[in-house]
Amino acid sequence: MAQAEAVLLASMMLVIVGTLLIVIDMVMSARREGEARVGGVILIGPIPIIIGNDKSMIKWAIVLTIIAVMAFILMAVVAKL
């Protein structure tokens, strides 16, 4: 049961860190002028939908999505141990 609690805590921490990063970026972006660069990935099952207006932001979104999916898989494997 302790491992399940550790996985739950780790996933909650990932959500909190992600939310904080978004808020920090929003605050920093408000200070800058210019065109916003965005990129994102929406996962519907195994099918990714990639959106964005800048190639480098799209690449970052894909890399971060791959890292997040690997983290979710790792947490699922650890939870089954």
- Asked if residue 66 lies in contact with residue 74, where contact means CB atoms within 8 angstroms, the answer is no
Distance of CA 47 to the CA centre of its chain: 16
- pLDDT-derived band of residue 1, with 50, 70 and 90 as boundaries? low
- pLDDT-derived band of residue 81, with 50, 70 and 90 as boundaries? confident
Whole-number pLDDT of residue 59: 93
Whole-number pLDDT of residue 37: 80
Taking the model in full, what pTM does it have? 0.58
Instruction: Write out pLDDT tens, residues 7-66.
Output: 899 999 999 999 999 888 877 876 777 777 888 899 898 888 999 888 998 999 999 999
